[in-house]
Amino acid sequence: MNETSARHVTLIRALETTTTPDAPWRPEDAAWASRAATEVVGEGANADRFLARRGQLAIERLGDRDKAFKRLASGRNWRPWVGSVLVALSFALGVLMDAVGPTRYVNLLAFPLLGLIIWNLLVYVGILVHGLSDPFRSTTPKKGVLWRAVARLGGALHEGIIDTASSTPSTRFRAEWARVSAPLTARRVGRVLHLSAMAFALGAIAALYTRGLVLHFQAGWESTFLDATQVHQALSLLLGPASSITGIPIPDAAHLDTLRLPENSGENAAPWIHLFATTLVLTVALPRAVLALLSGFAARHLERHFPLPLTDSYYQGLQRSYTGQGAHLHLVPYSYELSPAAALQLKEAIVGAFGPRATLQLSPPVAFGEEDVLPASAVPGTGATLAVALFSLAATPEEENHGSFLRALADRLPPGTPLAALVDEAGFMARFAGQPERQEERRRAWARLFERHAIEAAFASLDAAPARVADSLTRLIDLSARKEASR
């Protein structure tokens, strides 16, 4: 789906997952949208087409009732004028930069443009390191102040993700849209920053030559620690490519020795200005233009093929209703026997969370000490939505047993089947009623075990109302599916 369709789908998701009084979108509207979208796209279409059409039909229906949500749906994720203004401002700053200094001497070792060149080279190294290390990172690195400022100006940055029941649909939409559109925002901000850096360099070059038309500049160098031979080596390394292109030779060490300040008065700076300007084009303007083009192409691709994550329970539920399939959870207790009442509560919770087609496969418990050789019944089939390892909070988590069980189960899961953990607190709470500190301490112990195995987990009393258990299961599927999709 494209960016507009993804925006519609995200807005309807915010409406359907937020309970507010006098909401403009009702359950019967959701059912109508699904039914109408199925009729339009047919039963054989892929999930993206179904969701995109459903979002479009829902926005059309919603727009007749609530103009504010219609404006929100048709709003822009990015203000295009921000990029134009920042690029023009960068060019102006480049023009205003005092490139050679008020003394009319060009110090070859302290040329202000030299710092601009070195800074951009460091930026390229950072981009290369980021690209090479990106496949190995489990978390997204925090963006810099400048990046966040441009994103905020562009209207694509929302501070914090709001996911509470008290938030309004519009607030949840803005927060969720900022999250799902982050890859597109990164390309748009990157394009603006690259074009701004290029414009700054071109502005500095323009100012350099403009001043050179009406003023006379002398070139020389001075240093406490370097001699003429070392200066020749440094300038040859930095300005060598520009010298090859322009045909302007870099003087040898003997000639450079005659340009040493303050003993000498230097020479006409025109050849050196040409060399530095050409180097600036080669190291800043051209690479930044290429990077801006690449970011622009990537942004255009994402606009047309928006990577909306469809792994959470909301989207999975819509897709299952469209295809007629139901969620299938496979539960594997470890050293823990579920009571018949708790098993019934769990089945009711799954149906309440994922619809009447949802099913629960409850495996026989794996005995303590038998985690290394799992029975066939502990391993789900290929159609499982989620495999859940079930533990009791009354047990003390041990790496050699509970951890081994998690590893063994994860190794035998069909490809693409996420694994999560559910800890039943009912027995522990009944035994230590009125001692919340003990419950929290035991929770932390289990949480450390799950963190070591990179497994999402939920703590719930299976004796509680099915709706509360359903909330925990929904959260598990959302988190586990997102983690599986990011691998």
Per-residue pLDDT tens over the stretch 105-133 = 778 887 677 888 889 999 999 989 888 88
Contact present, 307 and 183 (Cβ < 8 Å): yes
> How many whole angstroms separate alpha carbon 55 and alpha carbon 174?
16
State which of 74, 102, 118 marks the end of a domain. Answer: 74
Residues 40 and 163 occupy one common structural domain: no
Distances (CA, A) of 475 to 91, 314, 328: 49, 10, 15
**Predicted confidence (pLDDT) per residue in 192-230, tens digit:** 999 999 999 999 899 888 888 878 888 888 888 889 999
pLDDT band at 163 (very low <50, low <70, confident <90, very high): very low
**Predicted confidence (pLDDT) per residue in 42-67, tens digit:** 877 788 888 999 999 988 888 777 77
Contact present, 319 and 285 (Cβ < 8 Å): no
Greater pLDDT, 313 or 420: 420
Distances (CA, A) of 380 to 111, 289, 345, 410: 68, 52, 21, 11
- In degrees, to the nearest 5, what angle opens at C-alpha 155 toward C-alphas 149 and 161? 85
Residues 20 and 55 occupy one common structural domain: yes
| 49: exposed, middle or buried (Cβ count in 10 Å: 0-12, 13-18, 19+) | middle
* Per-residue confidence (pLDDT) for residue 207, from 0 to 100: 87
Asked if the structure places residue 178 within a domain, the reply is: yes
Of 37, 53, 43, give the one whose Cα is nearest residue 5: 53
Residues in the chain: 487
Q: Which of 65-79, 177-191, 291-305 has the highest mean pLDDT?
A: 291-305
Which residues sit opposite 218 in a β-bridge? 105, 268
Residues 59 and 205 occupy one common structural domain: no
In the predicted model, is pLDDT for residue 245 greater than 50?
A: yes
Greater pLDDT, 157 or 350: 350
| 42: exposed, middle or buried (Cβ count in 10 Å: 0-12, 13-18, 19+) | exposed
In the predicted model, is pLDDT for residue 231 greater than 80?
A: yes
In the predicted model, is pLDDT for residue 322 greater than 90?
A: no
Of 54, 59, 53, 51, give the one whose Cα is nearest residue 75: 59
**Predicted confidence (pLDDT) per residue in 268-283, tens digit:** 989 998 999 999 999 9
Query: What residue numbers bound the domain in which 136 lies?
Result: 80-304
Question: Greatest CA span in the chain, whole angstroms?
Answer: 97
Quote the distance between the C-alpha of residue 251 and its chain's center. 50
Mean pLDDT on 462-467 = 69
> How many whole angstroms separate alpha carbon 301 and alpha carbon 271?
44
* Per-residue confidence (pLDDT) for residue 285, from 0 to 100: 95
Residues 61 and 119 occupy one common structural domain: no
Asked if the structure places residue 312 within a domain, the reply is: no
pLDDT band at 255 (very low <50, low <70, confident <90, very high): very high
State which of 278, 304, 330 marks the end of a domain. Answer: 304
Q: How many domains does the chain have?
A: 3
- In degrees, to the nearest 5, what angle opens at C-alpha 248 toward C-alphas 244 and 249? 85
* Per-residue confidence (pLDDT) for residue 76, from 0 to 100: 72
Mean pLDDT on 305-322 = 77
What are the CB-based long-range contacts (under 8 Å, 24+) for 126-130? 127/291
In the predicted model, is pLDDT for residue 295 greater than 90?
A: yes
> Whole-number mean pLDDT of the chain?
83
In the predicted model, is pLDDT for residue 361 greater than 60?
A: yes
Asked if the structure places residue 174 within a domain, the reply is: yes
In the predicted model, is pLDDT for residue 162 greater than 70?
A: no
* Per-residue confidence (pLDDT) for residue 122, from 0 to 100: 92
Asked if the structure places residue 139 within a domain, the reply is: yes
**Predicted confidence (pLDDT) per residue in 331-360, tens digit:** 889 988 887 877 887 787 777 666 677 788
Asked if the structure places residue 172 within a domain, the reply is: yes
**Predicted confidence (pLDDT) per residue in 134-153, tens digit:** 766 656 677 778 888 888 88
pLDDT band at 165 (very low <50, low <70, confident <90, very high): very low
Backbone angles phi, psi at 392, to 5 degrees: -110, 135
Tokens of 142: 């925090």
Residues 230 and 89 occupy one common structural domain: yes
In the chain, the N- to C-terminal Cα span, in Å, equals 22
Interstrand relation of 456-460 and 328-333 (parallel, antiparallel or unpaired): unpaired
